[in-house]
Amino acid sequence: MHSGNTFAKRTCESTGENPPKISEQPPRHNDGHRYNRRMDPTLINRIRDLSAGTPVPADDSLRAALRDLGLSFDEQNGSIHLTDVPELLDPDTITNRVSEVTDALRHLDVHFTIGSTNTHQLARADESDFHGSVCIAERQEAGKGRRGRHWVSPFGRNIYMSTGWCIPRTQSLSGLSLAVGIAIAGALRDAGLHRVGLKWPNDLLMAGGKLGGILVEVASPTPDHHRVVIGCGINLRLDTADAARVDQQFSTVLEHVALSRNELVATLLGSLLPALEAFGESGFSLFHPAWHEYDVFSGAGVNVTLGDRVVTGVNAGVDDAGNLRLRTDRGIETYNAGEVSLRPSEPHHAGLRQTT
C-alpha cells in the first residue's frame, strides 16, 4: 500500500517530465505571519559552514543568531564551532532520491526559517507549479497543529513539510488525511520504525506517544480541482528545552532508529506523492482495507470528545469515507470529527502509553 512503486497515475494535468525546480529560501515575510524575521544570507551561509563541521570566525551577530536558533557552540582561538551539529536539509539529496521513485515532485522550496510551511503553501495555491510542490523548513516559528494548536518546531532537528496538490473535484476529499497517514506510517515502518501506528484521524504514534501529525488544509478550488495542502510534522529528536514545551507525551525517531534527516524526507515523499496520485484516482476506497493494520486503538475502549460532549464506546474502525465507527450501547455510530483518547481502563492498549 505504501511502496513508492505501487501507484503510478497522475491526478492532475501533466507537467511534463522536467526535473523538479529547487529553491533555497532565506527567511521571508510573504507567508502571512509576523513571526518571520530576515537573516542576512551571509550569516546563513556561515551557519551552514558550521553545520558542515567548519569553524567560522566569531562575532556578535553570529553568536546572537546561533543562540536564537538554539544551537550550542564553543569558541576557541577566535573561531566558533558547534558542539551539537545538526544535519541541515540538502535539496539535491532529497530530489535525487525522490526522483528514483516518482516524477511527481515538481518544485522543492527549502527554507531556513519560516512562519508555517502550510501557510506558505496555501498562499501560493494560485501559482502554476503548486501541484506537486513541497515546502520544507529548518524551523517554523508559527508551526500549526490540528485545531489551531502550536507545533513545536526547533531548528534543524525535525521534519516540517507541506505538499501542494490538486485532486479532481469529481473525487471526494473524505478520508484524505487517513490515506496520507497510511502512506507516511508505511514509509516509517519501511525505514525501521516497525511499531509506528495511527490514531484517527491524523496522529502518528509509537510506544512513547506522539511521533508526528498530519494537517490537511484546503485552498479555494478551481473549476476542475480541489487544491489541498498536506502538512506533515515528524519528531526526529527534541532536547530538554524543546520537550518542556510539548504539552503531551511524545516519541522521537532517533530514540528507536538512527536515520538521516534528508534520507527520511526523501523516503516520506517517495511514499506520499504516489499515494496522493492514487487518491486522486480512487479516493479513500483504495486505502480503506489497510487502515486496520495501522489503527493502534483497533478494538479498544475509547472516548470521543466533541466540544463539551464525550461519547464512550469501542473503536470499530472506519467506514468507506474514513469516518470513525464507534460501537456504543446504542449500536454503531459514526463520527467525522472529534478527539479520540483511550478510556482510563485501557491505557496500555497496543503497547502505547495513554496519549490524547
CB 140 within 8 A of CB 234: no
CATH number at residue 236: 3.30.930.10
Percent of the chain whose predicted confidence (pLDDT) is above 90: 63
Q: In terms of domains, do 108 and 158 share one?
A: yes
The residue among 252, 271, 291 that closes a domain is 291
Cell digits of residue 54: 567548519
In 220-258, where do the E strands start and end?
A: 225-234
Whole-number Å distance between alpha carbons of 279 and 303: 29
Domain count of the fold of the chain:
3
Q: Is 218 a member of any domain?
A: yes
Instruction: Judge if 144 and 255 occupy the same domain.
Output: yes
Q: How confident is the model at residue 7, as a pLDDT? A: 36
Residue 123, pLDDT > 50, answer yes
Amino acid type, 140: Q
pLDDT surpassing 80 at residue 337: no
Tell me, yes or no, whether 134 and 208 share the same domain. Answer: yes
Q: What is the pLDDT of residues 80-93, one digit of tens each?
A: 999 989 999 999 99
The CATH number that applies at residue 329 is 2.30.30.100
Average pLDDT, the chain: 84
Range 135-162 average pLDDT = 75
Query: Do 8 and 116 meet the contact criterion of CB atoms below 8 Å apart?
Result: no
Answer whether residue 12 shows pLDDT above 70. no
Query: Domain check: are 269 and 335 in the same one?
Result: no
Dist. CA 351–CA 292, nearest whole Å:
16
Question: Residues 104, 187: one domain?
Answer: yes
C-alpha cell at 90: 540538502
Do 114 and 92 belong together in one domain?
A: yes
Phi, psi of 198 (to 5 degrees): -120, 145
In the prediction, which pLDDT does 305 show?
Answer: 87
Is residue 167 included in any domain, yes or no? yes
Q: Indicate whether 8 belongs to any domain.
A: no
* Band of pLDDT at residue 78, cut at 50, 70 and 90: very high
Smallest CA-to-CA distance from 285 within 230, 322, 315 is with 322
77 lies in some domain? yes
Q: Is residue 279 part of a domain?
A: yes
Instruction: Let me know whether 67 and 181 are in one domain.
Output: no
Q: What is the pLDDT of residues 150-160, one digit of tens each?
A: 556 788 889 99
Is position 15 within any domain? no
354 vs 155, higher pLDDT: 155
Which is higher by pLDDT, 195 or 25?
A: 195
One domain, residues 130 and 28: yes
* pLDDT at residue 226, as a whole number: 98
Full DSSP string of 120-158: HHHHTTTSTT-TTEEEEES-BSS-B-GGGPBPP--TTTS
Find the mean pLDDT for residues 113-142: 92
Cα dihedral 93/98/100/101 (nearest 10)? 160
Cell of 174: 473524505
Residues of the domain holding 301: 297-351
Residue type, 206: M
Catalytic residues, by residue number, are 146, 210, 343
Q: How confident is the model at residue 293 (pLDDT cuts 50, 70, 90)?
A: very high
The residue among 269, 291, 313 that closes a domain is: 291
Query: For residue 142, what pLDDT band results from cuts at 50, 70 and 90?
Result: low
Q: Are residues 282 and 302 in the same domain?
A: no
Please give the pLDDT value at position 56. 95
Query: Strands 309-318 and 324-328: what pairing?
Result: antiparallel
**Domain contains 68:** yes
pLDDT digits (tens, 9 = 90+) for 153-199: 788 889 999 999 999 999 999 999 999 999 999 999 999 999 999 99
Residues 312 and 217 grouped into a single domain: no
| 176 and 212 part of one domain | yes
209-263: pLDDT as tens digits: 889 999 999 999 999 999 999 999 999 986 555 654 555 567 789 888 999 999 9
Q: Is 91 among the domain residues?
A: yes
- Answer yes or no: do 197 and 331 share one domain: no
Q: Is the confidence at residue 14, as pLDDT, over 60?
A: no
Give 38's pLDDT tier (boundaries 50, 70, 90): low
